[in-house]
Chain A
Amino acid sequence: MKYVLMFVETEQFAADLIAMDEPERERAYARVRQWFADHHDKITHHAHLMPADSATTLRLDRGEPLISDGPFVEGKEIVSGYAEIEVADLDEALRIAKSWPACPVVEIRPIAA
């Protein structure tokens, strides 16, 4: 089955990352690169998104398309990236997601067949 792991950042996580010194941040990035390397045979696609302040939202259900600045939900937790994986079942997806070394929330959603 295919799943998308959505990596969700919190304000605290973003602040912690900024507060790190250069070598510390480099080690954090290295852990993420290692995770992608460890699971490369299961990961079919992945992307890291630009920060939420770069987002533009379009609403199409209110007559004229409504363009606004920012993500579609204003919240303290925002999706910062995703990885598509191909595994046997939810337990295998959970096992991979549990080892994710960066942001503190991961949503796991199956891809519609």
Chain B
Amino acid sequence: MTQPTHAELARLVRDHAGRLAASLVHLVGDFAAAEDLVADAVEAALSHWPVEGIPVRPDAWLYTVARRRGLDQIRREHRHRRKLALVPWPTEPQSDDRLRLIFTCCHPALPRTAQVALTLRVVCGLTTAQIAKAFLVPESTVGQRITRAKRKISHAGIPYRIPSPDELGSRLAEVLAVIYLLFNEGYLSTDGHQAQSRDLTDDAEFLATLLHGLMPTEPEAAGLLALIRLHRARAAARFDTDDRIIQLPQQDRSRWEHTLIADTGRLLARAAALRRPGPYQLQAAIVACHAEAASWEDTDWTQIVVLYDMLLRLAPSPVTRLHRAVALRYVAGPAAALVEVDALCGDLDDYHLFHATHAELLRDLGRQEQARAADERALTRTANPAEQSLLRQRINWA
């Protein structure tokens, strides 16, 4: 047995907690009761494994703990846990059925905050404390969200199954939205430090990989996985040694993981061959254009504008229009891009990147004073220290 590192422990729990949860729901037939047993087993693992080392079969270890707790509960409160008492407990974990688990956790009758918390706890094996820390909310808040969600699943009769084909599209969109939210939350909270707290981008990539593996013919699941991998392939070049953001034009592209980028390009091509384009595939294709360009100057801006046009047809949004305007600057010049950006000021006045983009275009056109004012507006609208420091730099130097 070896002493696990923080990251190893996280990975092990993530690999096994969801399988255990799926196995127990199958066995016990009660989502809430199974979830309690998994949470107990994960807590036990997090206190034992760092001291005693990783067991040879972590899945069997977790299962044995859950089984023992389940049997204890039957003895303690047999009147309330009749279901558990009827279970013929095998000695080994059952089949892997994590897809049902994911669809139950992300059921649209649950609020988004509960979908996120449940998915992290049940499928990825995070503790309530880890979720609270990742989202900067009190532990009691996360606890209440999970308790309420489990009660709703049981009282409202939210089923434990894969949605029927006619519902699958909208239900899958719900799952993808949860994973995408997790990824963004993790990506944006990264500040260049090797985070001591949980890295949610790991959990997002894990979930996207799992989903793609379980639903290989769903191109949007592949699209989301590609989007996440393409961002992560370039993560090492995002910050300088003083934790300041390095913007895309200035990034050292030799530090990107080019093998991963090439593999992801092939994943995206396989998804595209299914001929069902969607917002995640298109976003990933846009990121791929950047990732595959040898330099900022070599970027295929015309292709990027075309992809943004397709994306806007499928999912119109002012933020997407802003990004399209940035690409348009390299196709049609800063004046044309500025017209597009100006048209968005009503929708995006609260968004710091709107003002930062505005500032860059104004600076390109030699309108220094207006550019500085726009940067100052951007500065008051972001709480991220790395972004604040970048904007301060520009205001002082311009």
B-binding residues in A (CB < 8 A): 1, 3, 88-91, 93-95, 108, 110
Contact = CB atoms under 8 A, between A and B. Distances in A.
Contact of B158 (A3, A90, A95): A90
B157 interface: yes
B159 interface: yes
A89 B155 contact: no
B77 interface: no
B297 interface: no
Interface in B97-149: 107, 109
A71 to B, nearest CB: 25
Contact of A110 (B155, B159, B161): B155
A110 B161 CA distance: 19
24 contacts: A1-B157, A3-B157, A88-B157, A88-B159, A89-B157, A89-B158, A89-B159, A90-B107, A90-B109, A90-B156, A90-B158, A90-B159, A91-B158, A91-B159, A91-B161, A91-B163, A91-B164, A93-B157, A94-B109, A95-B167, A108-B156, A110-B155, A110-B156, A110-B157
A71 B156 CA distance: 26
Interface string B152-194: 0001111101011001000000000000000000000000000
A89 B107 CA distance: 13
Nearest to B107: A90
A93 B167 CA distance: 13
A91 B164 CA distance: 9
Residue with the greatest number of chain B CB neighbours at <10 A, chosen from A3, A88, A89, A91: A91
Size class of the contact patch on chain B: 10 to 19
Nearest to B153: A90
Contacts of B109: 90, 94
A1 B156 CA distance: 9
Contacts of A89: 157-159
B225 to A, nearest CB: 26
Contacts of B158: 89-91
Residue with the greatest number of chain B CB neighbours at <10 A, chosen from A90, A108, A110: A90
Residue with the greatest number of chain B CB neighbours at <10 A, chosen from A3, A89, A108: A89
Given A89-B159, A90-B157, 15 more contacts: A88-B157, A88-B159, A89-B158, A90-B156, A91-B158, A91-B159, A91-B161, A91-B164, A91-B167, A93-B157, A94-B109, A95-B167, A108-B156, A110-B155, A110-B157
Contacts of B156: 90, 108, 110
A95 B163 CA distance: 11
A98 to B, nearest CB: 10
A-B CB proximity, top 8 nearest: A89-B159, A1-B157, A89-B157, A90-B157, A90-B158, A90-B156, A91-B159, A110-B156
A12 B158 CA distance: 32
A39 to B, nearest CB: 16
B156 to A, nearest CB: 5
A62 B163 CA distance: 48
B32 to A, nearest CB: 15
A112 B226 CA distance: 45
B174 to A, nearest CB: 13
B123 to A, nearest CB: 20
A90 B154 CA distance: 10
